[in-house]
């Protein structure tokens, strides 16, 4: 089962990816998490991408395709995977198609979690993330049980630098320009499915599950 979660920043892709991962035992691959780990570890790659991420812009397609190809070749991806935050451009989607051909399984569903812009800006202002394990939180709908401490690993729960309002607006416009065209791309291939992301987390998850069973 190969799943792409589409949708703007803040629609709940990470939260849904974690739920699908638990239920279906396939890994969540978040390119944002991969890049943030590189930045945190101050690797060469991390140094290259930090300024781009802080501005809310996109890392180059070439670099992203190298990262994703390497990751999808790992043994834990053999049964399938959930892509969260990738692809984000048409060239990335085309590159992914080629990688899937090489991997020998082109079976794919692109699931779009749809949420209006005003709601996204509100949600991102209250979004937090565990600085250690990346578990997502939202102070309004699913806060950590103890303030600022991750329920899963006990790490510090923080606000991402790129969740500050100005960067959020930039990321939304980058999404509209570069990533929204993917809706058309996957519609044409008959692989596009949409769920209403304004519903409670559990209901969004049930809707996604129904799509995965069909």
Contacts of 94 (CB under 8 A, 6+ apart): none
Give the residue closest to ligand AMP by C-beta. 32
> What backbone torsions phi and psi does residue 125 show, to the nearest 5 degrees?
-65, -30
Would you tell me the crossing angle of helices 44-55 and 61-72 to the nearest 10 degrees? 120
Could you give the CA distance from residue 140 to residue 131 in angstroms, rounded to a whole number? Answer: 19
In the residue annotation, 171 being an active-site residue is answered as: yes
In the residue annotation, 123 being an active-site residue is answered as: no
CB of residue 36 to ligand AMP, shortest distance in Å: 7
Which residue number, 66 or 206, has a Cβ lying nearer to ligand AMP?
A: 66
List of E strands, 109-188: 109-114, 127-130, 136-138, 157-158
Which one of residues 86, 137, 185, 193 is an interface residue with ligand AMP (CB under 6 A)? 86
C-alpha torsion sign, points 113, 173, 14, 88 = positive
Q: Which of 13, 36, 123, 128 is catalytic?
A: 13
Q: Does 32 bind ligand AMP (CB under 6 A)?
A: yes
Q: Does 64 bind ligand AMP (CB under 6 A)?
A: yes
Q: Does 56 bind ligand AMP (CB under 6 A)?
A: yes
Q: Which of 18, 88, 123, 128 is catalytic?
A: 88
In the residue annotation, 36 being an active-site residue is answered as: no
Count the neighbouring beta carbons within 10 Å of the beta carbon of residue 133.
12
Which one of residues 3, 4, 9, 115 is an interface residue with ligand AMP (CB under 6 A)? 9
Count the neighbouring beta carbons within 10 Å of the beta carbon of residue 38.
19
Which positions from 128 through 187 interact with ligand AMP, judged by CB under 6 A? 162, 171
Q: Which residues contribute to the site for ligand AMP (CB under 6 A)?
A: 9, 31-32, 35, 52-53, 56-59, 64, 85-86, 88, 92, 162, 171
């Amino acid at each position: 089962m190969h799943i792409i979660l589409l949708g703007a920043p803040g629609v709940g892709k990470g939260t849904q990816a974690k739920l699908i991962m638990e239920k279906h035992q396939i890994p969540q691959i978040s390119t944002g998490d991969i890049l943030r780990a590189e930045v945190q570890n101050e690797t060469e790659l991390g140094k290259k991408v930090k300024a781009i991420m802080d501005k809310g812009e996109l890392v180059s397609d070439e670099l992203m395709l190298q990262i994703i190809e390497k990751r999808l070749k790992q043994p834990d991806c053999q049964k399938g995977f959930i892509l969260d935050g990738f692809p984000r451009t048409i060239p990335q989607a085309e590159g992914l198609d080629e990688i899937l051909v090489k991997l020998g399984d082109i079976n794919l569903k692109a699931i779009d979690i749809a949420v209006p812009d005003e709601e996204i800006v509100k949600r991102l202002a209250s979004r937090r993330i565990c600085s250690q394990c990346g578990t997502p939180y939202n102070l309004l709908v699913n806060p950590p049980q103890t303030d600022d401490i991750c329920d899963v690993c006990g790490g510090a729960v923080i606000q991402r630098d790129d969740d500050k309002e100005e960067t959020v607006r930039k990321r939304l416009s980058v999404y509209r320009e570069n990533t929204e065209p993917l809706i058309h791309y996957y519609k044409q291939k008959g692989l596009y499915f949409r769920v209403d992301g304004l519903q409670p987390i559990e209901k969004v998850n049930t809707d996604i599950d129904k799509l995965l069973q069909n």
